[in-house]
Amino acid sequence: MVVSLHSLLCATLALASAAAGAPATTQDKHFVVEQVKNPHFQRSGPLALAKAYIKYNVPIPSSLQQAIENVKPSRRDTGSATTTPEQYDSEYLTPVQIGTPAQTLNLDFDTGSSDLWVFSTETSANDVDGQTLYDPSKSSTAKKLSGYTWSISYGDGSSSSGDVYTDKVSVGGLAVTAQAVEAARVVSDSFTSESNLDGLLGLAFSSINTVSPRQQTTFFDTAKSKLSSPLFTADLKYHTAGKYNFGFIDTSAYTGSIAYTAVDPSQGFWEFTARGYAVGSASLSTTALDGIADTGTTLLLLPDSIVRAYYSKVSGAQNSNSVGGYIFPCSTSLPSFSFGVGSSRFTIPGKYMNYAPITDGSSTCYGGLQSSSGIGINIFGDIALKAGFVVFDGGNQRIGWAAKTLS
């Protein structure tokens, strides 16, 4: 990717930002974390797809690159934001307390990565644009790990990096001590542009943590011994705030039973095999789908053959080189998309498959399902996750999906 493309993406291809969440409720050995959607985040279909390429260090295809070069970035501090609230349902931030006394930062919870990194007082002033900064000098429990560093690299060659402290970290009322907190020194523009994003809390497996010379555990792994059950759940919602629960399963949050399937953690992700797929009310195919559940990716990314099969049922749909993906008239009623988990069938409602107008006020919309072929891995992002109640069971290395009452 060329530098000019990186500069274009910097203000719009960022992880989500939001206001701080409501106070969390706590119980013995389990805790609840509320999420609040960001009313200012401007979303774009091509940029959402490009974000996945960048996240997984894959060059962006030329057609998609051309499409995003036509997207003008908007900066929060200019007051440029989309005003349609129903467009904002994909990305959230959660308040996290770090240090003693506590410093509250708004972090993106990401099941596709394993670093807890934050903007800090060590971050270059040129890389800061309104973020809350972690100041280890003001925490009596902060301890620098001498000689330790971290670095996250992107497909365009840019990176975010810094040094490492251990400190007290509290999420939803549960505190852990000596948690690795990665303090940023250099932050790539794609993060700087999101003024409400103070960092990221990774929830993948600790095996892909980037700290050197010795990897550190994720917050979830550090907290496991304090939990009633070694799991957390994601209850992302459509057009409204969602919730993360740690240590317990809220039986009021879903209907029916939870269908579990094994997770393969060998690559560090919550990777599972879906048992077939279906468009609309058709029977599930016999095609097995290996993919990862990733709260940090907006779209549902699957093989070309499945994407073509889906959009063949969508009136007016076309794969547009100029936009960098499948588009269709916004007035079109989309079919649902289903996939198998264990012995159950899990369904994403058709309205969820419509990601957004290609530009504000456009009558053409960008599909929530796009091709994974260029990335090389199937990703069940927020388009899928927000349609269900999802259990990330670290103790049994399995993932569970359940239906919930739809908005």
Convert the pLDDT of each residue in 277-327 to its tens digit: 999 999 999 989 999 999 888 899 999 999 999 999 999 999 999 999 999
Mean pLDDT across 208-237 = 93
HEC string for 263-308: CECCCCCCEEEEECEEECCCCCCCCEEEEEECCCCCCEEECHHHHH
Mean pLDDT across 91-100 = 85
pTM of the complete model: 0.84
Vertex 8, ends 3 and 11: CA angle to 5°? 125
CA–CA gap between residue 124 and residue 153 (Å, rounded): 17
Q: Is the pLDDT of residue 237 over 90?
A: no
Check whether the bond before 59 is cis (ω within 30° of 0). no
User: How distant is the alpha carbon of residue 162 from its chain centre?
Assistant: 22
Side-chain-side CA neighbours of 62 within 13 Å: the count stands at 0
Strands 288-293 and 271-275, sheet pairing: antiparallel
Burial degree of 235 (CB within 10 A; 0-12, 13-18, 19+): buried
CB neighbours (10 Å) of residue 369? 26
User: Which pLDDT band holds residue 35 (cuts at 50, 70, 90)?
Assistant: low
And the tokens for 59? Answer: 């060059």
Give the model confidence (pLDDT) of 185-196 as tens digits: 999 887 887 778
CA–CA gap between residue 50 and residue 375 (Å, rounded): 10
Mean pLDDT across 112-129 = 94
The residue from 89, 108, 156, 294 that is catalytic is 294
Mean pLDDT across 356-365 = 91
Q: Is the pLDDT of residue 4 over 60?
A: no
28 is catalytic: no
- Give Rg (Cα) of the chain: 20
Taken in order 330, 335, 340, 344, the sign of the CA dihedral is positive
Give the model confidence (pLDDT) of 159-213 as tens digits: 689 999 999 999 888 889 999 999 999 998 878 877 788 988 999 999 999 999 9
Top-confidence residue, 275 or 196: 275
Q: Is the pLDDT of residue 136 over 50?
A: yes
Edge-first strand listing for the sheet containing 277-279: 277-279, 337-341, 344-348
Q: Is the pLDDT of residue 141 over 60?
A: yes
**Please, what is the average pLDDT of the chain?**
83
294 is catalytic: yes
The residue from 89, 108, 110, 382 that is catalytic is 110
The answer to whether residues 383 and 301 touch, using CB atoms and an 8 Å cutoff, is: no
